[in-house]
Amino acid sequence: MGRRKRWKKVLLVGAAVLLAVYIIACNILVNVALVPETMEKLEAFEELTEEGLEALVQTDDILENQAEAKNETKEWLETSASEMVTVTTGDGYELVGRLFYQTGEPAGHKWVLLLHGYTGWKEELYPIACQYAKEGYQILVPDMRCNGESEGDFIGMGWTDRLDNLLWLDLILKRDPEAGIAIHGQSMGAACALMMSGEEELPGEVKAIVADSAYTDAYQMFAKQMKEWAGLPAFPLLPGASLMLKIRGGYSLREASALEAVKKTSLPILFIHGMEDVFVPPQMSLELYEAAAGEKEILMVEGAGHVQVQDKQPDLYYGTVFAFLETHGFQ
């Protein structure tokens, strides 16, 4: 009888130790992937940037188009009218953005909100902002929480960002009550734009969305990256990490679903994806396109990697974007 009690005690202690190790491992995963302070200590930002660059297509035409866009953007920035703007989130974080506006009369009421990707920053989207400016748009390019100059606790994977970005839309509408707004995002920013489309609070002044290289949901993205980067299966670690994120950061990875959001929206959506994207599978844009409830178009381009369609075929990219927006009210 005493031996049985001892074994029971050993099993209980062992189970408690395993549970503690599991919780620690789940929290480590959350910290490494979503907490900037930890990512900086482990140099994860640098590693992600290097791995991301290595995964891109590096053909001569892409490199030449990138260089041309860089030079054009530099010239535009030297003469563009802009100002830095801030908003404060409901949980007290200051977010920073840059607003580019048209000078002269009439300025017009076409606006675009440009959203960057995972561990990105607003400056990455200045080449796209440059093209919107040429088309007469007023432009707002924010750093999303935990990125660039914006404060935050956990990277939002588009989910907490969907509510943060409503603040930017409010700022636009305070500046211009007659604004017609497009949301154009890349990667996480594209997924965020799609998540925003399912929000009842989304202002009616938002007329269309351009989703470049969007993922279906954050859970599937983490499962893919765990397998590719660490050789680990999603189960059992990822469900626990999602739960820890819910407890600590206020959202779960499964909640962060662009796929569920597009089923509920009637907004026109243009989906764009490079067929050589090894970071976000092109199939995800196809799934999103099929699920979208409103008017929709899709552009899939051979030879382009992650968010590289504008570099592979810039005329096709911008021609498709602006023709789509013109069709949906941006004259």
Judged against a pLDDT cut of 90, whether residue 104 lies above it is answered with no
The dihedral sign for the CA sequence 216, 221, 227, 233: negative
**Mean pLDDT of the 217-232 span:** 90
Q: Which strands form 269-274's sheet, in the order they lie side by side? A: 81-88, 94-101, 138-142, 110-115, 180-186, 206-212, 269-274, 296-301
Cα 51 versus chain centre, distance: 18
Residue 133 amino acid letter: A
Tokens of 92: 């007290």
DSSP-derived pairing of the beta strands 81-88 and 94-101: antiparallel
Per-residue pLDDT reduced to its tens digit, 52-68:
677 799 999 999 999 99
pLDDT of residue 111: 98
Judged against a pLDDT cut of 60, whether residue 1 lies above it is answered with no
* C-beta separation of 285 from 270 below 8 A: no
pLDDT of residue 46: 67
User: pTM, whole model, 2 decimals?
Assistant: 0.94
Eight-state DSSP code of residue 246: H
pLDDT band at 48 (very low <50, low <70, confident <90, very high): low
**Mean pLDDT of the 301-307 span:** 97
